[in-house]
């Protein structure tokens, strides 16, 4: 399957090609979420006139997010060349 690329002004001397299917094939993200919750209710009758009650809880969660793109994506190419042009401009 061939992709049709549309001209998108780069804001500099030139035009970058853009195609949404190409972007979907060369960029992505991954999100992993995990959580565990524990709750304990303690109720102890020590004597007829004394009672011990407690509520204990523990919670743990972890979130990992990964975003990626390769050099064939518009996004990576645009920002890589943008920083390259900024480095060249700063050196002069």
Q: What is the value of pTM for the model shown?
A: 0.47
pLDDT at residue 12, as a whole number? 47
pLDDT at residue 53, as a whole number? 95
Cα distance from N-terminal residue to C-terminal residue, the chain: 44
Tokens of 74: 């518009």
pLDDT at residue 55, as a whole number? 95
Over the chain (92 residues), what is each successive 10-residue block's mean pLDDT?
59 60 87 96 93 95 93 78 59 56
Alpha carbons 75 and 70: distance in angstroms, whole number: 9
Q: Where are the beta strands (DSSP E) in the chain?
A: 6-9, 15-18, 27-47, 50-69
């Amino acid at each position: 399957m061939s992709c049709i690329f549309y001209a998108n002004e780069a804001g500099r001397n030139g035009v970058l090609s853009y195609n949404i299917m190409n972007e979907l094939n060369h960029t992505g993200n991954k999100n992993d979420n995990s959580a565990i919750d524990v709750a304990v209710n303690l109720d102890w009758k020590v004597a007829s006139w004394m009672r011990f009650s407690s509520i204990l809880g523990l919670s743990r969660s972890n979130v990992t997010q990964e975003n990626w793109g390769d050099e064939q994506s518009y996004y990576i190419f645009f920002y890589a060349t943008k920083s390259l042009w900024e480095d060249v401009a700063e050196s002069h």
